Structure 1
Amino acid sequence: MSGLFTLIDEVAFAPLKQRLAQRLLAEADPRGVVALTHQKLADDVGGVREVVSRILAQWAEAGLIELRRGAVEIVE
């Protein structure tokens, strides 16, 4: 039950970019690869896939991540 309240608190008060960054860091393997689709990431952070994809594309353009099919690699 406390996990549900934590999720509600995060979705209600933490910005989507912050929730997405935290999720990527939490799910990354030792090489920095997150094997999740944009849809799964959106579901996990309480966002819409299109918005999550747009944020990820901005981060990829800035050189922070590399996008792959079904995965995201954290570069920096």
Structure 2
Amino acid sequence: MVSPGGILTPAYDELFGDALEEVLENSRNTVPAGKVGTPEEVANAVSFLASDESSYLTGVELFVDGGLAQV
């Protein structure tokens, strides 16, 4: 299972409008990776799980959240 955190998509513009920069700054200050994730970063995690390189993984929950779940 892939559990993404905050991912910067076009919906962020619609959801946050004029407050977008404040939301992004808050993420830089609270997420250990210091940023909001990208769709490509989630896609990379999914690609890894779908590949033979993850063939020995079972029942894993992969957090793609810049470390936020660990705080």
Question: For this structure pair, what is the TM-score category when the shorter chain's length is used for normalisation?
Answer: 0.3 to 0.5
TM-score normalized by the length of structure 1: 0.34
Greater strand content: 1
Greater helix content: 1
TM-score normalized by the length of structure 2: 0.35
Which structure has the larger Rg over C-alpha atoms? 2
